[in-house]
Structure 1
Amino acid sequence: MQRVTPIFTVDDLPSAVQEHRAVLGLELVMDLGWIAFLADSAGAQIGLMTQDASAPVNPQASVFVDDVEDAYRLAQEAGLEIVHPLTVEAWGVRRFFYRDSSGTVVNVGMHL
């Protein structure tokens, strides 16, 4: 596993970025207009998202792994609901979403 990041759904991305930067001292490391990631120098991150650009739901967490195809296979074998299929996204990641038994949606991906 490379990284685990909580993702908060927000109504106003610029305001949310400003608020979390002010309180937590995090730096903006990615902003696609609908999602932004803030991080500290040690690599701790939070994600802020209005509406996912290609998936039907917003995830509550993002987990980046070494082998997303293997994670996808394991999710299917575990009988988990796949709510966004394994997809190569325009912003350079291959990812899928699953929903766990409590309803939490997790984005699992890897950089291309």
Structure 2
Amino acid sequence: MAVRRVVPNIQSETMQENRDFYGLLGFEEVMNHGWIMTLASPSAPAAQVSVMADDKTAPVIPDMSVEVEDVDAVYTLVRDSGAEIVHPLQDEEWGVRRFFVRDPNGRVVNVLSHR
């Protein structure tokens, strides 16, 4: 099972201030849907941080996102383990297939693959 990237998600209503602050650390905006903005390192594009005001289709804001090679296979493993599925597996209009699961620490993890 391949993990492609891990991205911390910061809950915040102050998108511009976060863009400016993380810009000081070398990050640049690579995606902005209004409710979520992702900043990445130009020299290491998989080094990212996302800032979220809310989540367009889910009931909670995830603490982190993990992009995997095969989200359907990971979903089956996680579901069969008995872990709490917080948001069901579904295709999103912005081109990802994802689900949310609660980790043993109570953190919500967004597990996704790009279509």
Number of residue pairs matched? 111
Q: Secondary structure at the match of 1:3?
A: strand
Name 1:63's counterpart in structure 2: 66
Q: Are the aligned partners of 2:19 and 2:28 in contact in 1 as well (CA < 8 Å)?
A: no
- Specify the code of the residue in structure 2 equivalent to 1:73: T
Using the size of structure 1 for normalisation, the TM-score is 0.95
Paired residues for 1:1-112 under 5 Å: 1-21=3-23, 23-40=24-41, 41-43=43-45, 44-112=47-115
CA deviations 1:30-70 (Å, max 9, x no partner) are 00001011111212111111101110000111100110001
Using the size of structure 2 for normalisation, the TM-score is 0.92
Kindly report the root-mean-square deviation, in angstroms, between the aligned alpha carbons of the 2 structures.
Answer: 0.9
Q: Percent identity?
A: 48
Q: Indicate the larger mover: 92-101 or 8-17.
A: 8-17
- Specify the code of the residue in structure 1 equivalent to 2:13: D
Distance in 2 (CA, whole Å) between partners of 1:17 and 1:85 is 30
Unmatched 5+ residue regions in structure 2? none
